Amino acid sequence: MNKFELIEAMNENHTRFINYINTLSEKEFLFALTEKWSAGQQLDHLVRSTKPLILAVRLPKFILQLIFGTANRQSKTYEELVEKYLIKIAEGAKATGNFIPAPVGFEKKEPLKKELQLIITKINKGISNFTEEELDQCILPHPLLGKITCREMIYFTIYHVDHHHFIIDKALQDNCISN
């Protein structure tokens, strides 16, 4: 995907997720299986995990390269990056530290949705300031995937929201939770 396609996919996937969250009743938003996150916690996790990317796409590219280095390989494709992430998940990788959400009450639904949308808007603005080459040259640390290119981090962010959307939907469907 080129940077314009990346921005479009970021908008589409996050808008679809936010629209889905809009449809959830309080009961659905708060439902959680034992040892699993509620939809509210999934939303909070997405806010927590995307927010750091704002700084990364706003920093001057030479600062990113100074801090994290430059890529010594080509960026993976979207499909390759998703496959790598799914392998890590299958091996038992889980969110840690600041990426783990606390319980989220229904009153947080609107503020968290708005925050996620604002974060995506800011990330997309930052992406537009990268050249195609810079997306493949600059690297960032990912807590599960290690050092990945900026393009791969954006691929991850595009996929990550769909991953959590699926988890929420499956839990609600499998447990017949609805109004």
* Predicted pLDDT of residue 178: 65
Nearest-5° angle of CA 45, CA 135, CA 84? 55
- The domains of the chain are located at 3-174
* Predicted pLDDT of residue 173: 87
Distance, in Å, from the CA atom of 116 to the CA atom of 160, rounded to the nearest integer, reads 13
Question: Per residue in 46-81, pLDDT tens?
Answer: 999 999 999 999 999 999 999 999 999 999 999 999
pTM as predicted: 0.94
Q: How far is CA 161 from the centre of its chain?
A: 5
* Predicted pLDDT of residue 155: 98
- Relative orientation angle of helices 109-127 and 39-58, to the nearest 10 degrees: 30
Structure tokens at 107: 């009153």
* Predicted pLDDT of residue 34: 86
Low-confidence ranges of the chain (pLDDT < 50): none
Domain 3-174: give its CATH code: 1.20.120.450
Q: What are residue 76's phi and psi, to 5 degrees?
A: -70, 160
